[in-house]
Structures are given as structure tokens and as C-alpha cells.
Amino acid sequence: MSMSGRSRESGTSGSGRSSSGRSSSGRSSSGGSSSGRSGGPGGSGRAGGGRSGGARSGGAGSVAGKRTPPTGRRGSERGVTAGPRPGTIRAWGVEAEMAPAHQVSPDLDFGPEDDDDDFGPAGERDSLVDVPGGVRLQKVLAAAGIGSRRACEEMIGAGRIEVDGEIVRRFGARVDPDQQIIRVDGRRIAASEKLVYVALNKPPGVLTTMSDTRGRKTIADLLGDRAERLFHVGRLDYETEGLMLLMNDGELAHRLAHPRYGVLKTYLADISAPFPRDLGRQLMSGIELDDGPASADRFRVVERAGARALIEITLHEGRKHIVRRMLAAAGHPVSRLVRTQVGPVALGSLRSGATRRLSSKEVGDLYAAVGL
């Protein structure tokens, strides 16, 4: 009897060799046809790749019409092995290119064991000593509003970040934002989450103080309950309204208020009209006051309307009632005075009595204005 006939009867694959031929090629021992049809009973079974008793019989045998796991040489070829060419693999008989290695993002925090250095694109190492228990540099930058962590990593890799005066290129550098000075493109940022910077639009009839023994309304009433102790930068008199800066950054507040640093303040003043055409020149040349001369840095007329005029005046002087006294001495008393800008920070559309947090850019600009 031919091997193909045995395959039909046993229902197993003809993967072995017969005494006179190869069942896998479909040849019978009696020199049957190349199509692999057996001359035995049933005649419909095929050896090797043919069918056996209505079920498929191949390199992996078949039992009751179900495929069984691959075995032998053909089964091993269906696993994952190295390909014939570098950078390739062979899986299930198909050659494929290997995917490039993927670096895990340093943003992922794997706990206390995640202490390995992450170098920038150039693999450069700096001499900055990591702070034990510190915060990853890109996380500090993102929390300060500089950008997303991915964008901050790109800034670090590009050498745009300094910590205590040293350029840092490691993504995983650990810093103390409360103690160390961090700069982006040469400008200092407010890295500590403990520091608070607030803009207030002070209404008229409010004292620039945090408490008053006579029960008058103060700026503390406008700030509400805050955990931080804030300092006001300079003062506005009782009837003057407009922009005030408050913060718990003592060094910055001191420099912004000190005349040595010449931080400019801009005001809108409602004065009587008409006034001489050289009023601006007079104010910028200097007005003699009881406590010494005072001068404006800039002056412009915003609007004229009958007997009133709206002017804008900018100066770095910080003496008490300085704008009111200068214009009164020039013969044009002020009926309303609004401060619209302090250094790089503008009042904008902030409504009267409201507050807002300064942006990271505004804080950085304030640092730059006073040389920090």
C-alpha cells in the first residue's frame, strides 16, 4: 500500500519518508501520479499537502479537522528569528525591518530609583551637582509656565537654560527651585512655586496698607483670605486708582520700589484745560517742589474735551503725591489720576477692585528691569 494511503487511513501528515518514495511530494510507492492522489480506497485523500479523510493534512498534522501547533523544522521557521540582513527579523516566514529603539521620556517618574542622568542630544555633561531630592529641571520649567515638558527638554538640549550661572543640558538634572536661580535665554524666571506675584486695580477711596485702626477700607480687603503674606510695591494715595503690584518676593519688591533702579510708572491724569503748548517741556525739564525738583520722563496729550484734558505722564520718581504736586505747581491741578503701568506690567482690562496673577513673562521682565 502507498504512503498516501496510510496517510488517509491514519489521518496524520505524511511528513516522513516512505520505503519507496516521499509522501510530502505526493508520490506513492507504486509511482502514483504527481498530483499526489492515492490509488487506495477512497481515492480522495492526498498525501503531504493533500486532504486526509476530508481533513487537511500538512506540515502540521490535523486531528478531527482542527489545526495542531507547528512542529519540527517548519514550526521553528514560524517563530521570530534574526533576519538574513542586519536590522531585520524573520517572523512567521516573513522578513521585516526592526523598529528603531525608542527612548523612554524622562518625564515619566519611576520613583526613587529613577536617578540615572538623562543627557541632551549631544550627550554633553555639565558640572552642576544634582540637589538630593531635587526636582527635574524640565518639570520646574513647565511648572513656571515656560512651556510643555517636551518644549522645555528642547530648550535644555539647545543650551538655553542656566542654573546658578551654568548652562545645563541634562534633561534629568535635579534642582532646588526655592534656592537656585534659573534663567531662560538669559532672563531669570520665578521658579519657586512658593512665590506669588499679583496685580491689583486699586479703586479710589482705598488705603494702601494691610490694616487700618480707624476701620477704613484697605487693599487687604480686596485681596481676600490668602495664605501668603504679600508686600505692596510702593503706594498709591487714597484717591489715586490703578495698578499696584503685590508679592512675597522681598528682593524684587525692594528693587522695584527703590528710586536707584529707576523703574518707570505711567499715569493718566485728568487736568483743567486749556494749557500751554509747552506744558510737556516744562514737566520734562523739571518742576521745582518743596522737597526738590522733579521731572517727567515722557509726556503726551491723549484727549482734549472742552475745559478738560486727558494727559499721559511717565516718570521714575517715587515721592509722595509726586504727579499731583508737579501738575499743581504747573498750574493744572489733577481731578482724577490712574496709574496704568509699572515697569513692563500694564493694567490692561483688569476691572476696578480685581486682582490677577502675573504671567511668567511679566515676572521675568520685572527681574530684568531691576537687574536680577
Q: What are the residue numbers of the active site?
A: 237
Distance CA 43, CA 39 (A): 6
DSSP conformation letters of 143-206: HTTS--HHHHHHHHHTT-EEETTEE---TT-EE-TTTS-EEETTEE----TT--EEEEEEPTT-
Q: Which residues contact 368 (CB under 8 A, 6 or more apart)?
A: 187, 188, 344
At CB < 8 A and 24+ separation, what contacts does 286-292 make? 287/326, 287/329, 287/330, 288/329, 289/325, 289/326, 289/329, 291/319
CB 87 within 8 A of CB 42: no
List the one residue out of 251, 253, 324, 254 whose CA is nearest residue 287.
324
Amino acid at 92: W
In this structure, are strands 80-82 and 298-305 parallel, antiparallel, or unpaired?
unpaired
In this structure, are strands 231-232 and 292-294 parallel, antiparallel, or unpaired?
unpaired
CB 197 within 8 A of CB 357: yes
